[in-house]
Amino acid sequence: MQMHSRPKEQREAVRQLLHSVLTRDMGTFNPERFKDWIKDVDTRFRKVGLTLVFNIRTRAVHFTIKELRTSRTAFKFTASTHVPFDDRDVVMKVEDFGQTSH
Protein backbone atom coordinates (compact mmCIF):
# COMPACT_ATOMS: atom_id res chain seq x y z
CA MET A 1 0.00 0.00 0.00
CA GLN A 2 1.38 3.41 -0.92
CA MET A 3 1.10 6.53 1.23
CA HIS A 4 -1.46 8.26 -1.02
CA SER A 5 -3.88 5.36 -0.49
CA ARG A 6 -3.65 5.53 3.33
CA PRO A 7 -6.26 7.32 5.44
CA LYS A 8 -5.78 11.07 5.75
CA GLU A 9 -5.05 10.85 9.50
CA GLN A 10 -2.17 8.40 8.88
CA ARG A 11 -0.73 10.50 6.05
CA GLU A 12 -0.86 13.58 8.27
CA ALA A 13 0.88 11.80 11.17
CA VAL A 14 3.72 10.69 8.87
CA ARG A 15 3.94 14.16 7.32
CA GLN A 16 4.23 15.76 10.77
CA LEU A 17 7.00 13.34 11.78
CA LEU A 18 8.94 13.99 8.58
CA HIS A 19 8.55 17.74 9.02
CA SER A 20 9.65 17.52 12.64
CA VAL A 21 12.76 15.48 11.79
CA LEU A 22 13.66 17.72 8.85
CA THR A 23 13.33 20.97 10.82
CA ARG A 24 14.72 19.76 14.12
CA ASP A 25 18.44 19.47 14.77
CA MET A 26 18.66 15.86 15.98
CA GLY A 27 22.15 16.70 17.26
CA THR A 28 20.57 18.67 20.11
CA PHE A 29 18.99 15.55 21.61
CA ASN A 30 20.37 13.67 24.56
CA PRO A 31 19.10 10.12 25.23
CA GLU A 32 16.43 11.27 27.72
CA ARG A 33 15.02 14.03 25.48
CA PHE A 34 15.03 11.66 22.51
CA LYS A 35 13.15 9.02 24.53
CA ASP A 36 10.50 11.56 25.56
CA TRP A 37 10.14 12.83 21.98
CA ILE A 38 9.76 9.28 20.59
CA LYS A 39 7.12 8.44 23.23
CA ASP A 40 5.13 11.54 22.28
CA VAL A 41 5.32 10.77 18.55
CA ASP A 42 4.36 7.12 19.06
CA THR A 43 1.36 8.14 21.19
CA ARG A 44 0.10 10.32 18.33
CA PHE A 45 0.73 7.51 15.82
CA ARG A 46 -1.19 4.95 17.88
CA LYS A 47 -4.26 7.20 17.76
CA VAL A 48 -4.35 6.70 13.98
CA GLY A 49 -3.52 2.97 13.97
CA LEU A 50 0.24 3.22 13.45
CA THR A 51 3.31 2.64 15.58
CA LEU A 52 6.82 4.03 15.33
CA VAL A 53 9.84 1.74 15.42
CA PHE A 54 13.33 3.20 15.37
CA ASN A 55 16.91 2.02 15.29
CA ILE A 56 20.09 4.02 15.81
CA ARG A 57 23.01 2.87 13.69
CA THR A 58 26.17 4.86 13.20
CA ARG A 59 24.41 7.66 15.09
CA ALA A 60 21.73 8.03 12.39
CA VAL A 61 18.13 7.32 13.32
CA HIS A 62 16.26 4.88 11.08
CA PHE A 63 12.48 5.18 11.45
CA THR A 64 9.96 2.50 10.45
CA ILE A 65 6.25 3.22 10.68
CA LYS A 66 4.06 0.14 10.96
CA GLU A 67 0.34 -0.54 11.00
CA LEU A 68 -0.79 -1.65 14.45
CA ARG A 69 -3.40 -4.05 13.15
CA THR A 70 -1.25 -5.95 10.62
CA SER A 71 2.33 -5.04 11.62
CA ARG A 72 3.02 -4.24 7.96
CA THR A 73 5.55 -1.53 7.23
CA ALA A 74 3.80 1.61 6.02
CA PHE A 75 6.80 3.90 5.61
CA LYS A 76 10.57 4.01 6.28
CA PHE A 77 13.13 6.79 6.34
CA THR A 78 16.44 7.73 7.94
CA ALA A 79 17.27 10.99 9.70
CA SER A 80 20.14 12.61 7.85
CA THR A 81 21.46 14.42 10.92
CA HIS A 82 23.37 12.53 13.57
CA VAL A 83 22.33 12.09 17.17
CA PRO A 84 25.21 12.51 19.66
CA PHE A 85 24.67 9.08 21.23
CA ASP A 86 24.63 5.42 20.26
CA ASP A 87 21.88 2.81 20.32
CA ARG A 88 23.08 1.48 23.67
CA ASP A 89 22.36 4.89 25.24
CA VAL A 90 18.59 4.85 24.65
CA VAL A 91 15.74 2.35 24.94
CA MET A 92 15.35 0.86 21.49
CA LYS A 93 11.67 -0.15 21.54
CA VAL A 94 8.71 2.00 22.44
CA GLU A 95 7.20 -1.02 24.23
CA ASP A 96 10.21 -1.02 26.60
CA PHE A 97 9.64 2.55 27.80
CA GLY A 98 7.24 1.43 30.51
CA GLN A 99 9.89 -0.91 31.90
CA THR A 100 12.56 1.76 32.41
CA SER A 101 12.84 4.18 35.26
CA HIS A 102 12.75 7.95 34.67
Is 81 a member of any domain? yes
| pLDDT per position as a tens digit, 5-52 | 678 888 888 888 888 887 777 778 888 888 888 889 999 999 999 998
Angle between helices 31-46 and 8-23 (to 10 degrees): 160
DSSP for residue 67: E
Is 91 a member of any domain? no
Rounded distance between C-alpha atoms, residue 68 and residue 84, angstroms: 30
pTM reported for the whole predicted model:
0.74
Instruction: Quote the distance between the C-alpha of residue 78 and its chain's center.
Output: 10
User: What's the confidence (pLDDT) of residue 49?
Assistant: 93
Structural domain that includes position 51: 3-86
Is 100 a member of any domain? no
Is 92 a member of any domain? no
